[in-house]
Amino acid sequence: MIQVLLFAHLREQVGCENLTIHKKQMTVKEFKELMEKQYKLSTQEVMIAINEEYATDSDVIAEGDTVALIPPVSGG
């Protein structure tokens, strides 16, 4: 089980704050593709962190990990 945390407007786009993915393992790239396909989420500009560590496309997400999706915000 992979736990997914959604921040800011991504929550509204998906319709909930947390998601659970029933997979043993997947790359960040595969994860992004899944988000785009299943939830119509544009992930191109979203920062991905696995267990509070910055992740790149080739990093692997494993069972038990928490993945956070952080969109860029410009207000100030």
Partner 1 sequence: MTVKDRYSRQTMFSAIGDKGQRNIQKKKVLIIGAGALGTANAELLTRAGVGHLTIVDRDYVEWSNLQRQQLYLERDAHDQIPKAIAIKKHLTAINHDVSIVACIKDVNASNLEVMAEGHDLMIDATDNFETRWIINDVSQKLSIPWIYGACVGSFGMSFTVIPGKTPCMNCLWKAIPFQSMTCETGGIIAPVVQMVTAHQSAEAMKILVEDWAALRKTFVTFDLWNNQFQSIDMTKAKREDCLSCGKERTYPFLDYTSGMKTMVLCGRDTVQVRPPKPVDLNINHLLSQLKKAGYKAQANPYLVHIHYEKERMVLFKDGRALIHGTNDMAYAKRVYQKILG
* Cα torsion through 53, 15, 8, 1, rounded to 10: -10
CB of 1 to partner 1, least distance (A): 19
**CA 57 to each of CA 46, 63, 75: distance values in angstroms, whole numbers, following the listed order:** 12, 17, 27
Query: Of the two residues 17 and 33, which places its CB atom closer to partner 1 in the complex?
Result: 17
Supply the minimum distance, in Å, between the C-beta of residue 11 and partner 1: 7
Sign of the CA dihedral with 66 first, then 44, 9, and 38 last: negative
Residues binding partner 1 (CB under 8 A): 5, 7-9, 11, 17, 42, 45, 47, 49, 52-56, 68, 70-76
Least Å distance, CB 50 to partner 1, is 10
